[in-house]
Amino acid sequence: MTTTRRDFVNNGINKAAGLMAAGVALSAGKLLAEEEAAGSTSIEGAIDKELPPPSAEVIALSRTCFGIKRQELSRMESIGIETYLEEQMDWKSIDDSAVESYLQEFTPTIYLSQGELIDFQKFEVSGQLKSATVFRALYSRRQLYEVMVEFWSNHFSIYHQDGPVALLKTADDRDVIRPHALGNFKELLRASTKSPAMLVYLDNHTNIAGTPNENYARELMELHTLGVDGGYTEEDVKEMSRCLTGWSLGRRGAERGRFKFYPEFHDEGEKSLLGISLLANGGINDGETVIDLLAEHPSTANFIAQKLVRRFVTDSPTESLVSLVADTFLDTGGDIQAMLWTIFLSDEFAQSADEKLKRPMEFIGSALRGVNATLERGSRNILRDYLISLGQMPFDWVPPNGYPDVAGYWASTNGMLNRWNFALALAHMDLRGIRFDYFSLIGRNWRPGNIVDALARNLLHRELLEQDRQMFIEYLAPNAAVDELLNSQQLESRIPGLIGLMLSSNYFQYR
């Protein structure tokens, strides 16, 4: 049963809790609509920037992982932000064998060849890839790498449920996105243009001479490289589609499900686009030439820079930082790590506290990672249902532009209520197969003020406004003195609700 705003008051959390949560929301921004009847009214612009700022380490870690774990934050504070990020950049040197061993047992199809996958049901293959994606986000030690895998998966977005794509996307994830996530953009783009999943999803497998299909050529230029304002024309789209005629996938034997170029279906005429001319009879080189041209284009550099700054810094990228990142793109030939360093070492990044609202995947991930939750196999369906209700199941965004990465899309009344539902269910151990030890979060000093401070330190990673701190204390021990020791019975009845309220507060909504 879905927890409503009224249930917030009645379901084991008394009226004081509801009032307390309202107070926290008010202190951090405007209060959400009191009634569910408000529907999905946007609260864009309602997020106040007057919360006590987190440390530089918290900003850096929260932007480069799917949720802060206390031991990771301690390590960053110990060795320094740059050294920690250098370790994360060198993702291949990080031992992630425990995660991979788990996935080999429970999601074996993600390791199978395209030919082997044909023997499986679509829902089984797509379901295992989704599960593996969520599990890696939660438990991989290669957190920055997984963040970038998600970023590029979203940039080269492919809707998972589009017919044969359910089988083809597994190879795209394994062979296209993951090898290049912290590598080079040109190499990533080249791999994506020969991805059977992409060619089928955007209809290039039907693109043949005489009756070209322009769909992929258009999205390649608009969404993957130049951007909608990148300076190309409608004629350029038509010419691009001609360059990509015959780019498809094999349908028989060992070639089945793999990229294949069909010379007999390629338009061998002369072509002209984006200021260059291609001679007749260019074959597959037509497409490869213009793909490299796109990868090196200044408009592509600017477009990719904007998206990276939007992901890691702010919903409204500054022209100065975008220009720096675009220059890095051009100077390094699209080196992804170099662009990230330009961002991470910038003043804008260091000063970007509370500029980014967590999307649902990040909210759920940060809650589970923050409380150090353990997940049994049965928890997979629970997480799936919440990701669906919150609107961000991996690979299920239907249009090719990817899930939005701005607060205005996610900060609706219904969206925030669903976050509260998850936070409360998690805190009260109402999610089947998901458990955590809340005593490890509250420390050994069981005085109300100390408990609230410990939870703020371990879950929210920042100080509280005094009025919010007092409301948390009042909820935890409404009839006790601030310095009065609480007993285990009091803790067991009140700590889950307090954790749920902290995870529901605006203090926890940012990355």
Residues facing residue 374 across a β-bridge: 435
pTM: 0.91
Q: Assign 206 to helix, strand or coil.
A: helix
Question: Rounded CA gap, 243 and 228, in Å?
Answer: 20
Task: Give the per-residue pLDDT at 63.
Answer: 98
pLDDT of residue 7: 40
Q: Which amino acid is at 115?
A: G
Per-residue confidence (pLDDT) for residue 485, from 0 to 100:
86
Q: Where are the domains of the chain?
A: 1-54+356-511, 298-350
Cβ-based neighbour number of residue 190 at 10 Å: 17
3-state helix, strand, coil in the chain (%, to 5): 60, 5, 35
Task: Give residue 2's identity as a one-letter amino acid code.
Answer: T
**CA of 340: how far to CAs of 19, 83, 309, in Å?**
42, 14, 9
Torsion over CA: 263, 267, 271, 276 (sign): negative
Condensed to tens digits (0 to 9), the pLDDT of residues 65-91 reads 999 999 999 999 999 999 999 999 999
Q: Give residue 52's region: left, alpha or beta (phi > 0; psi -120 to 50).
A: beta
Looking at this protein, which amino acid is placed at residue 242? R
Could you say which residues of the chain have pLDDT below 50? Answer: 1-48
β-pair partners for 435: 374
pLDDT tens across 110-130, in order? 999 988 998 899 999 999 999
